[in-house]
Amino acid sequence: MRLVTYQLLNTTALRTGIQISRDEVLDIVNEALEIGSSYRVSTMLDIIAGGEVTMNLLREIEAHPKTAPVMLNKALLKAPIPRPTKNIFCVGWNYLDHFNEGGEVAKDNRELPAYPVFFTKAPTAVNGPYDVIPFDENISTQLDWEVELGVIVGEGGKNISEADAMRHVFGYTIINDVTWRDLQRRHGGQWHKGKSLDGTCPMGPCIVTADAIDPTNLDLECRVSGVVKQQSNTKHLYFKIPRLIHDLSEGMTLEAGDIISTGTPEGVGFARKPPEWMQPGDLLETTIEGIGIMRNVIGFY
Ligand code: MG
């Protein structure tokens, strides 16, 4: 099932939907009203927290819709979780070729990590799949791209075993871990600031539920103004999803709606010779097989 958060044109309210075709979305709240359901389904976080009971309602809606679908030419898809309740968990160096290209730039003969590198992006960084990514040359001019598979946590937990981890996954989305590269390095080597500016976490265009996709073999690609910059497959993830969930949840509670961005493959701007950065007017396209495509223009504030 493909779940979306959308906005009807010329309105401000965010609505939840089931995308049933390229152009059509079933409005979940309207459908639930028709059925007489009292479940909370007005935000994606409600739906995820509702667990299997809510998913059964959505399956019923998808199988026997009672309202006319909303046409997507009259709506705009937004980030499926527009305002996460906490920071987005991110993984650094999780594709070997990206690890190596980073090592080449740093010239530090780094050893392969024994544990994943974790950092976070602020919730305010979240951006829609077709929204403008703000550019402020007074802050930085080194704007870089990072296509990543996003994992959405369903049932929360702590000290989750690798064997049990996939049971805690609600679904998958696309994230571009857009990074202001000099800010990332400027602050004592802590990545949080350079990866948390407003609008630097485009997410979407939907969440594909875990029962509908195999995350272990998905092509992913990032293009800037039509030129392919990154092209890989999630089978090359160094630390696989169960290991990420296990390590992250050790002594730290994961909750429904938490987001884990699993790391980016090779081909980022800073490792190119010479380095490349996005400019205002560039079109950033981020795509993962089976999930969809995001198109974000780089623009001035
Ligand atoms: Mg990243």
Encode pLDDT of 252-296 as tens digits. Answer: 999 999 999 999 999 999 999 999 999 999 999 999 999 999 999
| Per-residue pLDDT, 301 | 60
Residue 29 alpha carbon to ligand 1 centre in Å: 34
pLDDT at 277: 97
Strands in 122-269 per DSSP E: 126-127, 133-135, 143-144, 147-153, 169-176, 179-180, 201-209, 219-224, 227-233, 259-261
For residues 111 and 228, the model is more confident at 228
Q: How far apart are CA 161 and CA 291, in angstroms?
A: 27
Sign of the torsion angle spanned by Cα atoms 65, 152, 56, 287? positive
Domains of the chain by residue range: 2-78, 88-300
Instruction: Please give the torsion angle defined by the CA atoms of residues 97, 231, 259 and 78, in that order, rounded to the nearest 10 degrees.
Output: 160
Domain 88-300 part of CATH 1.10.3720.10? no
At residue 205's C-alpha, the angle toward residues 203 and 206, to 5°, is 100
pTM of the model: 0.96
Residue 108 has pLDDT above 80, yes or no: no
Distance of CA 121 from the midpoint of ligand 1 (Å): 10
State the distance from the centre of ligand 1 to the C-alpha of 24, rounded, in angstroms.
Answer: 32
Region 196-223 average pLDDT:
98
> How far away, in angstroms, is 17 Cα from ligand 1 center?
28
**CA of residue 160 to ligand 1 center, whole Å:** 23
Report which DSSP code applies to 190: -
Ligand 1 center–CA 199 separation, angstroms: 15
pLDDT in tens, 20-37: 999 999 999 999 999 999
- In the reported structure, the alpha carbon of residue 105 is separated from the centroid of ligand 1 by a whole-number distance in angstroms of 16
Give the residue ranges of DSSP H helices in the chain. Answer: 28-35, 44-49, 51-63, 96-106, 181-186, 241-249
Residue 98 or residue 154, greater confidence: 154
At 17, the pLDDT band (50, 70, 90 cuts) reads very high
Taking all residues of the chain, what is their mean pLDDT, rounded to a whole number? 95
